[in-house]
Chains A and B, each alone.
Chain A
Amino acid sequence: MKPLFLALLWLIGGLLFLHRGVAVAAEDVFVNDGLHDPQGPSFHELQRPTEALAGFPPDTVGNKVRWVNALRDGLINPRTNIVPETKIQVLDMDIIFGNTGDNAFVRFPHRAHTEWLDCANCHPDPFKEKFNTSGIKMSAILEGKFCGKCHGAVAFPLTECARCHSIKPDSFRGQLGAQSVKKP
C-alpha cells in the first residue's frame, strides 16, 4: 500500500477512536434513551442512575445491582414504612419446590423477599400460603404471572435460571415445601 494511503487510514481511524473517547466521557444516559425529553425544564435536575448506582454491589443484569446485598451490606437503608403502625415482618424461612422437570429444584428464600416486601404483596394472591396449591408454572411466570410479576420487570430477570433453580434433586435429602424457620 502507498504510504499516503496508510497515513490517511491511520488518521481517520485515530480520529474515530478519539471521537468515541470523547463521546464516552460526555455520555449522558438520559440523552437518547428513548424516554427522557431533553427539552424538559427539569431534565438537568434529575439524578442519573450511572451516578446513583455506581458504588453498589455489581450484577450482570437488571439495574446491574445486587439489591439484596446492597441492603444487607448496609450500603442502602431504605425506609420500611411511612405509616407508623405498619408492622415489619422479616421471615427467614425457605421453601423448596420440586416438580421442576429436568431443571434443579427451586429454593425460595422468604428472607430476601420479606426484607423488601410485605406478606400481603404475595399472599394470598398470587401465592396461597399452603404449599403446592397455587399452580405455579414456568410458562405462566414467563407470561408475567407469579414470580414473573417482579422478576423480569423490576427484580432480576428470568434469564437467571440458576438463582432460583439452585437445589440439585440428586443431592437433596430433605422434605419439599416449607423448611424450618431460622431465628435471627
Chain B
Amino acid sequence: MLNPLRNPDRRLSPAAVFLVGVLLLLLAASPGMAEYADVILNQHAEQEGVRPVIYPHWFHRIRFRCKVCHHELGFKMKAGGNEISMAAILDGKFCGMCHNEEIAWGLEHCHRCHSGLPGLKTGIRGDNKAGGPGEY
C-alpha cells in the first residue's frame, strides 16, 4: 500500500508537513506550567483585596541556602504552614527579615510578590514530572 505521508520520489509529502504543522500548533497552544516548587500563599491575600502571593523557590535558592529561611527565619517546610501576616512582615519577621531594602528590595513593591491570578489556592506547585506527594 502507498504510504500517504511519503511521495514516491521519497520527498516529504505536503500531508506530512501539514500534520507536523498542526501538531506543533497544538503544542504551542497548550498551557504552560508553574516552575517546580513555586509556592502560592493565599490564606489572607485575596480576602484583603490583593493578589495571591507567588513565592519562587528557584529564585531564592540561587541566592540563599534552604536553612536561611527554613531555620533562621522560621518558615515551616509546608506551604501555608506558618501564620504569616503583612503586619509581621512589616515588623521584620518572615519575608521582612530580608525584604527591608538592606538584603533585598523593600516592601513597597507589593506587586512583585502579590502577583498571582485570582482564586489560586495555597500550596506548592509545578512538579514537572510526578504529581507530587499527596500531602501537598
* Residues of A participating in the B interface, judged by any CB pair closer than 8 Å: 6-7, 9-10, 12-17, 19-20, 23-24, 29-37, 40-43, 45-47, 49, 52-53, 61-65, 67, 76, 78-83, 86, 115-118, 120-121, 141-145, 148-150, 152-154, 157-159
Residues of A within 8 A of B35 (CB): 29, 33, 49, 63
A7 CA to B84 CA, complexed, in Å:
62
B54 touches A52 (CB 8 A): no
A53 CA to B41 CA, complexed, in Å:
23
A79 touches B117 (CB 8 A): no
- Provide 12 A-B residue pairs closer than 8 Å at the C-beta atoms, listed in order of the A residue: A13-B21, A45-B109, A45-B112, A47-B59, A62-B129, A63-B57, A78-B68, A81-B68, A117-B65, A144-B132, A144-B134, A144-B136
Chain B interface size range: 35 or more
Q: Does B25 contact A (CB under 8 A)?
A: yes
Give the residue name and chain of the B residue nearest to A5 (CB): B14
A108 CA to B21 CA, complexed, in Å:
47
Partner of A79, one of B64, B77, B132: B64
Q: Is the interface of B mostly helix, strand, loop or mixed?
A: mixed
A145 CA to B77 CA, complexed, in Å:
11
Residues of A within 8 A of B133 (CB): 141-145, 148-149, 152-153, 158
A143 touches B135 (CB 8 A): yes
Q: Does B70 contact A (CB under 8 A)?
A: yes
